[in-house]
Structure 1
Amino acid sequence: MFISELCIENFRCFGQGGNKLVMPLQLGLNTLVGENDAGKTAIIDAIRMLLGTRDQESFRLSIDDFHYSNSKEQSKSLSISVTFLGLTLPEQVSFAEYLTYQPENIENPVILKVTLQAVLRNDKVRTTIFSGIPTSSHGLREIDIETRDKLRSTYLRPLRDAEKEMDAGKSSRISKILKRQSAIDEGESILDISAVSEDKFGEVVEKLGVVGIARLVNQLLEDHPAVNSTTNNLNVNFLKPLQMLGDNLQANLGIGPNADDEMLKRQMLEKIGIALDNVGGKRGLGSNNLLYIACEMLLLSESKDELALLIIEEPEAHLHPQRQLKLIQYLQDKVDKYKEEHEVNLQVILSTHSPTLASKLPIKCMTMVHKGKVLPLSMSSSTEGDFTFLERFIDATKSNLFFCRGLMIVEGDAENLLLPSIAKILDFDFTENGVSIVNVGHTGLSRYANVFSGTSEYPNPGIKVACLHDLDLIPYKAARELKLDSVKNNSELSDLWDNLKLSLDIGIEDVDFESLNSLLPKNVISFFEQDPFDTDKVLNANRDYQGDFVKGFYSGPWTLEYSLAFHGLGKEVTIAACLAKAEPSARYDPSKHEQIVSVAEDYYEYLNRTYSESEVLAGKVYELFLSSVNVSTHIANEHAGLVLSGKASKAAAGQHLGQLLEMMDQKLESDGYAQSDRIEHWKNLLPIAVVDAIEHVIPSMFSETESE
């Protein structure tokens, strides 16, 4: 059986009515992702409080667990419930008196619903755990302790001290595992030493001190069938699959297996502990964590009559990225094979802050938690094709989109490097506001965005997404000046465009735009305000995004670099491009930064004198990225040779431009300009789409919620 739905009301950050949590879960792997204090730990703690854990940890509701509304009024009651589906016949027998029958539900006629209800009276918490549905004919029934023990989950806490967790003690993991071995009771309970006193063995025993006896006991334990088989099973079937080549981790079972003499004296006959061997030096936290996880999985596999539910908070704790990937591969393999090997279904619920893990998890197993609300990605409007596409291309860099308050999706490295600086000069710092920026290249922006679209049942919980596109429509005059292949040597088009421009200049309104646009390539526009076909091309370029939270923004009229130059940052883009062109030179030296800037300023002044029309001037600035422009042929600057003739790198230019804009803003501030005046200054120089996209993704002020 497995949990199909979790409902939480008035517990910590989850309220009631429309603010209560109703979260679907699936068989196999379920992953909670999102920023800190979103509600992930509250979800896991709710399940732990309802079902309990196998480590018998005392974990009870407190007064602080009752939800506070915005008015600071604390709720006096709360409830946590789970619905189990897929009960096998043995499970139905085991929980027979607590089941609810739904004859109308052909697929799942038998369910087990378990609910914790708590009330707060006189500063005391009173809790009841029962089964059933209030409206069901079977009514409600309080669950006895013996049955509740069968529902306990296996829980791995965050920032765990694996060595401490595996220490010898009353509830040590290895003692629980050994107790489940049928062979543990084999052999004589009492050894009559006198019967073997004349034997050499007896002579040796008589000479042993306490430490020696401990070491002898460890040797005997090592040869004991139950201990030996458990050690081999743990090392071969559970610890080895978690390792990478060269790890060579081996567990030793015994009484303080790595202890010194003094420690052996204290631990003798107390308990059996477990530790990694120390060959090559003492093992670190990460390696001990793997052993701890392996022990938990072994213990879980031995618990055949209990719930196969594994809850892990931050499985990445103490593990480097490659081991994190190995762990996820291991968990997925266990989920796939568990039913075949153990005749029950395994369900795993984990929370993570690791982009590395998130990049390798199936997207449909993820649930984003944000401000006390959830967005199960399996419930999004994305298609199977979208999921396949995203799982193919999401890497550890892109996967930070699962942990954001706002998301900016861009088409290239230049935008990725430049937009955080533009946001900063607009007083919208991405880092401070928890906004992730993800570069997905030139395709698939809508696929990434649709994951956040939500549905009527599970709407977007408030994560704003902006997809910043290049409009990719080239003004004809810029295309002609740059001699782009699509319009070059097309005299008919050139003549018609010139005639129409002349007609418009002298005030003739009835002009033949249709003929012009029949000759214009699909990605070229006339750039006449009166041309209705330009509007059609812009609308056709736009993509539809669903809902108010996910929107597309189109930086026009061409690429971002062209658009920035066109709207007022032509000189700055020229400087950034020339700096980028200078970098590959063997003579490049950061100390010559100012000389290169002077070359760029001279070149821009030349362009500004030569090309009066803004679309053409912007095109000539953008030409620095399109072709090998030798600026030294146009200006007389002794340092012009520092700027190579090769094409400027957009990524390098984006980085330089971002730094330049931030420096310019700091200069304005030092000159006494108020922040509001500086923001207005930049808005007048930036493309409207860029400003709107940045303003869209900045989250509004968060309402106060309980922390995780």
Structure 2
Amino acid sequence: MHISKFIIRNFRNFESADFNFKEGVNTIIGENGSGKTNFFYALRLMLDDTLPRYMGFGERDFNRNLGNWQGHWIILTTHFSELDLSEESQALSIHACGQLDTEEEKPKGSYILCFRPKSHIRQELYEYSQKEDKDKSGLENILSQINITDYETVYLCRGYLNFSKDDIYKSYVGDFENIIFPNPNEQQKQKYGDYLPREINLYNEISCTFIKALRDVASDLRSYSNNPLVRLLKDKGKSIEIETQNDLVDSINELNSSIASLNEVIDIQKGIDDSLKQAVGTTYAPNIEIRAELPNKMDKLFQSLRLWVGDSDDEDRGKISELSLGGANLIFLSLKLLEYEKIKTDKVANVLLIEEPEAHIHTHIQKTLFDNLHQHNTQIFVSTHSTQISSVSKISSVNILSREDKKSVVFNPSYDLDDNEIVRIERYLDAVRSDLLFAKGVLLVEGDAEQILIPVIFKRVFGLSLDEIGVSLINIGSTGFKNIARIFHQDRVNRRCSIITDFDESFISLPINKDDDNPEQKKARNSQKSGVERKDNLDIFCEKNMCIKPFFAKNTFEVDMLLESNAYEFKNIVHEVYKTKSKIKESKSNLDSEDVEVSGREVLKLATTKKKGWFALLVAEEVNVNTGVPDYILSAIAWSSPHINSASKVKAVRYRLENVHFTAELLEEDIELIKIHSSFNSIESDEDLLIKFRDCFQEDPLTKLLNHYDS
């Protein structure tokens, strides 16, 4: 039995969320504030016996997007798959309601927590919704009278309604907009759920342990209730032979007697006795004796055992409190895994929740640890914002959390993908490329040159980094974009992904008859043909996917960069490619040529001679605030970052104003720059600043970028 789905409705930053899980290890990844901790807390409310069973919710536990929380419900639903034949499992089984899924060898079940208005409130809402003269003001009058004390917490089972769906929520909870509320006495229990039988206590049958990120391991290992070492030893204590136990007890009793009979101990005992009698007299003075109380019972003996540890390169051993935080966390996690494997296999299900294991654990250990977390009969949930852990996560076992419009949304990156597609994605993701799972927008590029130069250009031209606006740039390493781009889809990871590639239109003249091509022309013609085919294939691939869009350089990246009046940047690194003065002079002259056949040939020759990646590194050093940016790159960045806020745009405007020497050609009118700058300084509104900049500098790269956000 394992958790296959977890649904949250109206709880904290989750307005409506569907999590899908597999057996074994599941990963919940997401940025800070995306809801990872709230997800764990919601799951613990249902399964963790360290939290109160009928824990009350407060007003702030309702999702803020509701506006008015009064009348709404918080609903947490846990779905289980592959239930066994135990009484506890069958109490959850949806099949008991006649909903047998013939495709499943083992039944499914559900366990539901509802925080809802009490029955008299629900009845009042229903009765008002039946009135012909009902209106919004009347409904608001009823809702305004509801207090948090008018709510109840109930646990249900066997329900199969998905309350994350708005139509289901409105049908069974209420349509507040249209003032339609169901009759609480006529709801179909088979769909809604039954009360969990009183004799069934899931807390006793499902073992749930939460390992928080910044835990005090030393304190936990001193605790009897939280100490996995004690539990492991106690379990082993049952197998110690009685004769051996008796020998140990006799030895300890003898040791206790020896300690108590020491002259030093007897002297202290006599001194205390004399002092008491002098203070209160012999009539009222209690009799005292000092005894050694080393535990002489096996369970108490095991509690006295402590781990002594040392770092991997140190033979010395000390208390666990002396170990590094990372080492201590590794030890505790290992003990918990061993405890589940050795002791808790009699439970219906074992659930281990691990919050951000990267908090104190080294990068390489993160990957190794996560890769080896699979344990028999234990389902593990790991939350992380570590690219190391996400890189070794199975895409089919990943749920991505993201902040969107003041709420958290859940993406399932493997939804509706076949096994081969999933395998290709998992092979591709490594610690560098897996950051695309965390991004708000993605740029996929096909080569090292784009990977190196585009982030540098964006930073130096606009004063912003791609990371700052939540965009990840990923080098695919070829033109095989489809394998990775398919992750981005309205039903999977609902984030925009721009594919940046070359159209490879030939910039050299080609004969009408291809048979007349020389080797250079033949190569250019073949590239052009491939470019057309690439564009056609990508256009078809992206046609029905609202999350993917291709952007093409007219020629190639290097040539299109040069044609944006960037000869200066390329000329400055010619001496790194050629050593003779004549070659350097000739190359610079070619780069300055207005004939693209000349300049285009030269820039590609430089890139090929130096190798494109190294060439891009050299060019990156020369990129500056005046570097031109090809329009297809501006368009791709803007399309991938519709979420960019006004503050970032204003920051870019002020950066340009402070760093660019604007010429009259860039201005709408030929007026003095001093007047331009002084006029900008007097603007207080961000919106007015953006409008003023775009009006004055219509040909500036930033204006072109901002225009793309409007298109």
Same fold (TM over 0.5): yes
> Is it true that 1:522 corresponds to 2:526 in the alignment?
yes
Give CA-to-partner distance per residue, 1:346-383, whole Å, 9 cap, x none: 211111111111112222211222232222122154x4
Provide the rounded CA distance (Å) in 1 between the counterparts of 2:38 and 2:559: 48
Given residue 475 of structure 2, which amino acid in structure 1 is its aligned partner?
A: N
Q: Which of these residues, 334, 344, 357, is aligned with residue 315 of structure 1?
A: 357
Give CA-to-partner distance per residue, 1:384-433, whole Å, 9 cap, x none: 33433333332211111111111112222322232224334357642222
> Is it true that 1:653 corresponds to 2:653 in the alignment?
no
> Is it true that 1:409 corresponds to 2:409 in the alignment?
no
Q: Would you say the 8 A contact 2:412–2:492 is kept in 1?
A: no
Q: Would you say the 8 A contact 1:409–1:437 is kept in 2?
A: yes
3-state SS in 2 of match to 1:350: strand
Q: Which of these residues, 324, 328, 336, is aligned with residue 370 of structure 2?
A: 328
Q: Would you say the 8 A contact 2:156–2:194 is kept in 1?
A: yes
Aligned length: 564
Q: Which residue of 2 aligns with 1:254?
A: none
Q: CA deviation at 1:245?
A: 6.8
> Is it true that 1:147 corresponds to 2:202 in the alignment?
yes
Q: Which of these residues, 57, 60, 68, is aligned with residue 61 of structure 1?
A: 57
> Is it true that 1:284 corresponds to 2:324 in the alignment?
yes
Give CA-to-partner distance per residue, 1:485-520, whole Å, 9 cap, x none: xx9x9993479x9xxxxxxxxxxxxxxxxxxx9997
Give CA-to-partner distance per residue, 1:614-635, whole Å, 9 cap, x none: 343233233221337xxxxxxx
Q: Would you say the 8 A contact 2:22–2:397 is kept in 1?
A: yes
Given residue 441 of structure 1, which amino acid in structure 2 is its aligned partner?
A: G
Change (3 A) 1:60 1:347: farther
Q: Which of these residues, 329, 340, 344, is aligned with residue 300 of structure 1?
A: 340
Q: Would you say the 8 A contact 2:3–2:81 is kept in 1?
A: yes
Change (3 A) 1:410 1:556: same
Q: Which residue of 1 aligns with 2:481?
A: 445
Provide the rounded CA distance (Å) in 2 between the counterparts of 1:167 and 1:572: 64
Given residue 379 of structure 1, which amino acid in structure 2 is its aligned partner?
A: Y
Give CA-to-partner distance per residue, 1:518-566, whole Å, 9 cap, x none: 99732147xxxxxxx9967854676723512122211221x21111112
Give CA-to-partner distance per residue, 1:113-168, whole Å, 9 cap, x none: 11000036523353111212254289512354733332341111122222233233
Q: CA deviation at 1:606?
A: 2.5
Given residue 168 of structure 1, which amino acid in structure 2 is its aligned partner?
A: S
Q: Which residue of 2 aligns with 1:122?
A: 147
Give CA-to-partner distance per residue, 1:250-296, whole Å, 9 cap, x none: 8xxxxxxx6xxxxxxxxxxxxxxxx54x8xxx211011101111222
Provide the rounded CA distance (Å) in 1 between the counterparts of 2:344 and 2:152: 30
Q: Which residue of 2 aligns with 1:640?
A: none
Give CA-to-partner distance per residue, 1:188-244, whole Å, 9 cap, x none: 99999999999798445533969xx999949997997x789x99xx99xxx9xxx99
Q: CA deviation at 1:56?
A: 7.4
Change (3 A) 1:27 1:647: closer
Q: CA deviation at 1:648?
A: 8.5
Provide the rounded CA distance (Å) in 2 between the counterparts of 1:167 and 1:552: 58
Provide the rounded CA distance (Å) in 1 between the counterparts of 2:57 and 2:316: 39
Provide the rounded CA distance (Å) in 1 between the counterparts of 2:248 and 2:565: 97
Provide the rounded CA distance (Å) in 2 between the counterparts of 1:621 and 1:193: 84
Q: Which residue of 2 aligns with 1:614?
A: 596
Provide the rounded CA distance (Å) in 1 between the counterparts of 2:697 and 2:619: 20
Q: Which residue of 1 aligns with 2:88?
A: 94
Q: CA deviation at 1:178?
A: 4.6
3-state SS in 1 of match to 2:414: helix
Q: Which residue of 2 aligns with 1:378?
A: 414
Q: Which residue of 2 aligns with 1:503?
A: none
Q: Would you say the 8 A contact 1:29–1:349 is kept in 2?
A: yes
Q: Would you say the 8 A contact 2:6–2:78 is kept in 1?
A: yes
Q: Which residue of 2 aligns with 1:475?
A: 507
Provide the rounded CA distance (Å) in 1 between the counterparts of 2:71 and 2:621: 54
Given residue 360 of structure 2, which amino acid in structure 1 is its aligned partner?
A: H
Q: Would you say the 8 A contact 1:412–1:442 is kept in 2?
A: yes
Q: Which residue of 1 aligns with 2:550?
A: 552
Q: Which of these residues, 412, 423, 435, is aligned with residue 471 of structure 2?
A: 435
Comparing 105-114 with 181-190, greater Cα deviation is found at 181-190
Q: Which residue of 2 aligns with 1:346?
A: 378
Q: Which of these residues, 678, 681, 687, is aligned with residue 699 of structure 2?
A: 681
Change (3 A) 1:669 1:93: farther
Q: Would you say the 8 A contact 1:10–1:75 is kept in 2?
A: no
Provide the rounded CA distance (Å) in 2 between the counterparts of 1:432 and 1:536: 35
> Is it true that 1:6 corresponds to 2:6 in the alignment?
yes
Provide the rounded CA distance (Å) in 1 between the counterparts of 2:613 and 2:522: 34
Q: CA deviation at 1:661?
A: 4.2
Given residue 319 of structure 1, which amino acid in structure 2 is its aligned partner?
A: I
Q: Which residue of 2 aligns with 1:82?
A: 78
Given residue 694 of structure 2, which amino acid in structure 1 is its aligned partner?
A: S
3-state SS in 2 of match to 1:23: strand
Q: Which residue of 2 aligns with 1:206?
A: 261
Provide the rounded CA distance (Å) in 2 between the counterparts of 1:198 and 1:155: 39
1:470-549 correspondence runs (5 A): 470-477=502-509, 492-493=516-517, 521-524=525-528, 539=536, 544-545=541-542, 547-549=545-547
Q: CA deviation at 1:662?
A: 6.9
Provide the rounded CA distance (Å) in 1 between the counterparts of 2:485 and 2:401: 17
Q: Would you say the 8 A contact 1:580–1:648 is kept in 2?
A: no
> Is it true that 1:397 corresponds to 2:432 in the alignment?
yes
> Is it true that 1:563 corresponds to 2:560 in the alignment?
yes
Q: Which residue of 2 aligns with 1:255?
A: none
3-state SS in 1 of match to 2:358: coil
3-state SS in 2 of match to 1:563: helix
% identical equivalent positions: 21
Provide the rounded CA distance (Å) in 2 between the counterparts of 1:194 and 1:543: 79
1:602-641 correspondence runs (5 A): 606-607=589-590, 611-627=593-609
Provide the rounded CA distance (Å) in 1 between the counterparts of 2:248 and 2:354: 48
Given residue 335 of structure 2, which amino acid in structure 1 is its aligned partner?
A: C
Q: Would you say the 8 A contact 2:230–2:303 is kept in 1?
A: no
Given residue 626 of structure 1, which amino acid in structure 2 is its aligned partner?
A: T
Q: Which residue of 1 aligns with 2:453?
A: 418
Provide the rounded CA distance (Å) in 1 between the counterparts of 2:619 and 2:475: 13
Comparing 137-146 with 411-420, greater Cα deviation is found at 137-146
Q: CA deviation at 1:53?
A: 4.4
Q: CA deviation at 1:50?
A: 1.7
1:34-73 correspondence runs (5 A): 34-53=30-49, 61-69=57-65, 71=67
Q: Would you say the 8 A contact 1:130–1:143 is kept in 2?
A: no
Q: CA deviation at 1:326?
A: 2.3
Change (3 A) 1:346 1:537: closer
Provide the rounded CA distance (Å) in 2 between the counterparts of 1:581 and 1:173: 64
